[in-house]
Amino acid sequence: MEIALNILLDVVIALITSYAFWYLTFIRSGTKILFSDQIAFRENDRQDNNDPFIYRIKVINAGYRDLIEVSTIVTIQTRPFLPEKRSSRITRLTLDNEIFPVFKGRKLQRKQNRIASRVLDLYLTEKAYAEFSKEYYITNVREKALVQQLTLTNIIDAYRDTVRITVYIFGNDSVTGARKMFSKEYTASDICYGRFNIVSTKRKGRVATDKTSLVACLKLKPEQRNQ
Contact predicate 188/88, CB 8 Å: no
Domain tally, the chain: 2
Q: Are residues 50 and 151 in the same domain?
A: yes
Q: Which residues contact 117 (CB under 8 A, 6 or more apart)?
A: 58, 59, 60, 61, 217
Q: Once rounded to an integer, what is the mean pLDDT over residues 209-224? A: 63
Q: Of 68, 69, 93, 90, nearest to 80 (Cα)?
A: 90
Evaluate whether residue 226 is within a structural domain.
no
Mean pLDDT of the chain: 78
CA separation for the pair 114, 103 (Å, rounded) = 13
Question: Whole domain around residue 211: which residue ranges?
Answer: 31-221
pLDDT value of position 207: 44
Evaluate whether residue 212 is within a structural domain.
yes
- The torsion angle over the Cα atoms of residues 91, 94, 98 and 103, rounded to 10 degrees, is -90
Proportion of the chain above pLDDT 70, given as a percent: 72
| CATH code, 98 | 2.60.40.1400
Q: Are residues 26 and 37 in the same domain?
A: no
| Three-class SS state of 36 | coil
Evaluate whether residue 227 is within a structural domain.
no
Q: Are residues 99 and 56 in the same domain?
A: yes
pTM: 0.77
